[in-house]
Structure 1
Amino acid sequence: MASISGKPSKSKEVRETKEKIVALLSKLKIEEVIEIKDWLNKYVDETPLEQITANHEKEQKKKILEKGAQKLDRIATFLKDKGVDVPSKELNKLKYPTEGFDSDCNEINTCEVDSFLYDDDDVEELVQQNQLSRSYCPDCNSRNTIPLNFISHSLSRLQIKFLFDKLMPPTCQNVLDIGSRLGAVVYGASLFTNGNVHTVGVEMDSDYAALALQTIRQFGLKNIEILREDIRHLPQVFKENQFIVMNNVFSFFLSKTEQEECWEFLHTHMRPGTVLAHHPPVEKITEHLDLSFAVEDWLEFVNTTEQCSEYAGDDSEIFEEMESICKYIVKNPEV
């Protein structure tokens, strides 16, 4: 069978496809084979080349996503095996918010579990093994238990795939992950785009930054740059045609004044047209801050209900998990 251009193809994939077609046709009667032949000729003659190309690109993207998801799982296993961010009953060192969103969290009622490393099944297994609890007792030796607040400073693997499958513009050439932590988002950016976008991860913690660099080398990930720095010192990382990802990177780590400085810096340096994916809503985590601008004047909220539905199917929990990531576009101040 000739290719659409009329030239015979020597690719392995085409040869294997021909063999599969012959195997399928061998199961049919001659009149059924003729019917398939007529249908195929009609399909090739009447289907626009643009549509055939689009179908091919869609199938190739599906393969990249599936392959990327498998490798992202292997990366998470690699990091868990290294004992990175093990859920602990011990009190942690976070700076719990005292105002605004998440101010109900404190070192007693909150448990930090990294969603990139531990999915719901992992958490349930830890609970069954008595290595983790879902509740705590505010009164010593009392049965008056209260559910713990579970927080994560990483997006889950499902959310990371969603970012690059549904939220990132297809024309995007630059990804910026602010507060890169374990590097989960930058790994996803490389895997789910086949290394075709330039990705920068910014992380203040030297141990996390070193770990991300080690993981990038270990798995041969392409086109990633890790900067161990405060985002306020990096105006040069903001580009045109950029996709920026943030997972509540300031609230649990910086003072109120420092958070205000960070948001003012972002407001100054994010380019118009930039797409921002933020978890949770920017409006909620900044409402208690004293900023020189209104979020709604700076960012245009983009409704992603359709994309969440496509991704989640009939699974309401996955829908809610994806919907918690908010998409914005930086407005042009001159318009």
Structure 2
Amino acid sequence: MASETIVPPTVGDQADCNEVNTCHVDEFLYDVEEVEKLAKKGKLKRQYCLDCNSRNITAYYFSNAGTIIGVEMNKECCEVQEKIINQYSMNQNRIKVIHSDVMDRSDIVASSNIIVANVLDFFVDIEKHKKIWYFFKQHIKKGSYLICNRSITDTLESIGLSEELIDWLSICKPCRQENEIFFDLEDFMDMHLYKVN
């Protein structure tokens, strides 16, 4: 309300709050669940632009990739991903989620420049796990990148394929180019980047 006076604190753990980075919501009128609903509807913004202080912002894709395709074998996970794509008004011609076993989509794998592979240990048995890595070796094109959240050496050793497939990939070191910050390396210590030989 315009008649209410809000004075941001200047001491204590909330001294960093000000009229630009903080939106006052009366807890008497709006409980946590109501605030969450308002945020989901876009009526209350949780972020703002550090450059101009605008709250009129949307999700930004940290990629100039023409198309981003996710292949997911769990239908429920696909539905969640599609809901997020719709919720944030992402370009559905650019971002797609396909409900399928990746081994049934060699067309997508063969045409991809970057593949992000989950650890498969918890989702398939050892024989299927081996088949997937043979499939990847057959269909991922030379020069493409493979991102894994586990060392490929550990992955292949655990299923007995390290001798057979280790020369297929080269380790890439993350780098920072001038005026570009990709990510904080400490936050992604478990991510591994490889290039297909």
Task: Please classify the TM superposition score into its range, dividing by the shorter chain length.
Answer: 0.5 to 0.7
The 8 Å contact of residues 148 and 192 in structure 2, kept in 1 or not, is answered as yes
Q: Which amino acid aligns with 1:212?
A: Q
Native 8 Å contact 1:300 1:329 kept in 2: yes
Counterpart for residue 231 of structure 1: 102
Aligned-pair Cα RMSD in Å: 2.8
Structure 2 segments unaligned to the other structure (5+ residues): 1-35, 41-58
1:213 Cα deviation after fit:
1.2
Q: Deviations over 1:78-119 (max 9, x none)?
A: 9xx8xxxxxxxxxxxxxxxxxxxxxxxxxxxxxxxxxxxxxx
Q: In the alignment, which residue of structure 2 is the partner of 1:177?
A: none
How far apart, CA to CA, are the structure 2 residues paired with 1:264 and 1:320? 31
Deviations 1:178-226 (A, max 9, x none): xxxxxxxxxx9x72236x5201101111111011112211211121111
Query: Which residue in 2 is equivalent to 1:219?
Result: 88
Corresponding residue number in structure 2 for 1:329: 195
Q: Is the partner of 1:276 in helix, strand or coil?
A: strand
Q: Which has the higher helix share?
A: 1
Q: Give me the whole-angstrom Cα distance separating, in 2, the residues matched to 1:233 and 1:279.
A: 23
Describe the SS at the equivalent of 2:146: strand
Q: CA deviation at 1:329?
A: 0.7
Pairing partner for 1:191 from 24, 42, 61:
61
User: 8 Å contact 2:117–2:149 — kept in the other structure?
Assistant: yes
Using the size of structure 1 for normalisation, the TM-score is: 0.37
* Contact 1:200–1:227 under 8 Å retained in 2: yes
State how far apart, in whole Å, the 2-side matches of 1:293 and 1:234 are: 27
Alignment of 1:12-161 (within 5 A): none
Q: Which residue of 2 aligns with 1:244?
A: 115
For 1:218 and 1:261, the matched residues in 2 are separated by 36
Among 133, 137, 161, which residue is 1:263 paired with? 133
Change (3 A) 1:212 1:311: closer
Q: Secondary structure at the match of 1:252?
A: coil
Q: TM-score, normalised by structure 2?
A: 0.60
Letter of the structure 2 residue corresponding to residue 213 of structure 1: E
Q: Over alpha carbons, which structure has the higher Rg?
A: 1
Which of 57, 79, 82 in structure 2 is aligned with 1:210?
A: 79
CA contact (8 A) 2:112 2:140 kept: no
The aligned residue for residue 278 of structure 1 is: 148
Contact 2:103 2:132 survives alignment (8 Å): yes
In structure 2, the CA distance between the partners of 1:193 and 1:288, relative to structure 1 (3 Å rule), is closer
- Once the two structures are superposed, residues 138-196 of structure 1 have per-residue CA deviations (whole angstroms, 9 ceiling, x without a partner) of xxxxxxxxxxxxxxxxxxxxxxxxxxxxxxxxxxxxxxxxxxxxxxxxxx9x72236x5
CA distance in 2, matches of 1:300, 1:235: 22
- Runs in 1 of length 4+ with deviation above 6 angstroms? none
Letter in 2 for 1:324: D
- Matched ranges for 1:159-174 at <5 A: none
Q: Matched residue pairs, number?
A: 137
> Partner residue of 1:57?
none
Displacement of 1:291 after TM fit? 3.4
In structure 2, distance between residues paired with 1:242 and 1:191: 17
Say if 1:283 and 1:295, in contact at 8 Å, map to a contact too: no
Equivalent residue for 1:301, pick from 150, 171, 174: 171
Is the contact made by 2:78 and 2:99 (CA closer than 8 Å) also made in structure 1?
yes
